[in-house]
Amino acid sequence: MNNSKYKRKEGFLLEEKVVEKALLVGCQIEEDDQRFEYSMEELASLAETARAEVSAVLSQKRERIHPKTYIGKGKVEELIALQEQFEPDLVIFNDELSPSQIRNLSEQLDARVIDRTQLILDIFAQRARSKEGKLQVELAQLQYMLPRLVGKGTAMSRLAGGIGTRGPGETKLESDRRHIRRRIDDIKKSLQVVVEHRERYRERRKKNKTFQLALMGYTNAGKSTLFNRISIAESYEENQLFATLDPLTRKLILPSGYTALVTDTVGFIQDLPTALVAAFRSTLEEVKEADLLLHVVDSSNPDYNNHEKTVQSLLEELGMDHIHQLTIYNKRDQMHPDFVPDSSSEKIIISALDGNDRDSLKHKIEEIVIEQMEAYHVNLPSSEGKLLSQLKNETILRKLEFNEESHTYEAEGFSLTDHPVTGNIKKYQK
């Protein structure tokens, strides 16, 4: 199927994406009806983000997933009938399917069969902008596809572009396993170079000891909106899942004038593919160096509680759960009527679009930064111009007065314990 059409505009031939039609299929094996409903709604949002139009949704309640076809025989027949009615381009399943399930379903359905993992990988393939991001997505896709190459037959012959096929491309997927393994090894080597490059940058930042913050949270919680409004940056901002993929680091000026660094990261999601967690571990290494995690939660989403748990679980898996956290409940103006903030966490409730709320957030961040600093009160001789400049730029300076009698500057403020400037002012400490 050709998934694009062309039109002329002012003499240029432009490509327009044609929206693909999709059927969604889910199987509920737990008692929580509401959670399953949210999961299916999220699948529909993911499909929309990947530029698919949902024609119909089919779901079934079972004690366990059918090992051969995911859903039962009767439901497969219903799905075939829906396919004949709507003629979709693809059928998307709300779980990761096994290679045999994909093969069995593909033999019975006259449409591409993809699962939730493939859909998420496809969105990541669309969103990746940097060389590193593209390599990581390709690595995750190849690792996902490798065990599914055996006997794919019919399904492979249908790969002609479209959702679930972007990234490595058809030729790579049709190659033999040895070629794919070789490509995986090549990507890992390329990524290692990027990792080493990042480490050099991190070492430089450690040496300069700049306070680092990282925005984390469930996808579409409003991280990029907040990032763009509190930092000096231009990050892609859209009401879509996974609007940000590549991490961006920019300056954040706190109310005292102190400069910190803030990093915007990829959004987390329930059932994030294991291959992606592994592939993006190097990207999130950036976050491991953070002094403070800003955990952004969408207070307007009815499933906000599960979103919080998902993020905490992934932070634990990535070994980042020990870092100091501030929970930012965002979208205060659209807050869900049943919303109750977590009483155990350090928190603030804001709207990223409200200037006063953003100011309150910056003051709150500065309070936390000061908690991680030590106070100083020194008299510096006027000849210490370089050190005075450092106090202004690299510490939170609360008082600076010149004493004409002693020709010294009285300075009070806060500095990071392991910052070089702290050692330099110790000899002048009162």
Residues making up the binding site: 217-224, 242-246, 264-267, 330-333, 351-353
174 vs 162: CA distance, rounded Å: 16
Please say whether the beta carbons of 43 and 116 come within 8 A.
Answer: yes
Own/partner pairs for 393-398, CB < 8 Å, 24+ apart?
393/259, 394/419, 394/421, 395/258, 395/419, 395/421, 396/254, 396/256, 396/258, 396/366, 396/369, 396/370, 397/256, 397/257, 398/256
Q: Which residues are annotated as a binding site for Mg(2+)?
A: 224, 244
Q: Which residues are annotated as a binding site for GTP?
A: 217-224, 242-246, 264-267, 330-333, 351-353
Q: Which of 331, 349, 352, 333 lies closest to 341 in space, CA to CA? A: 349
Here the tokens at position 194 are 């990027």
Here the tokens at position 270 are 């329930």
Alpha carbon distances (Å) from 27 to 24, 31, 61: 10, 12, 6
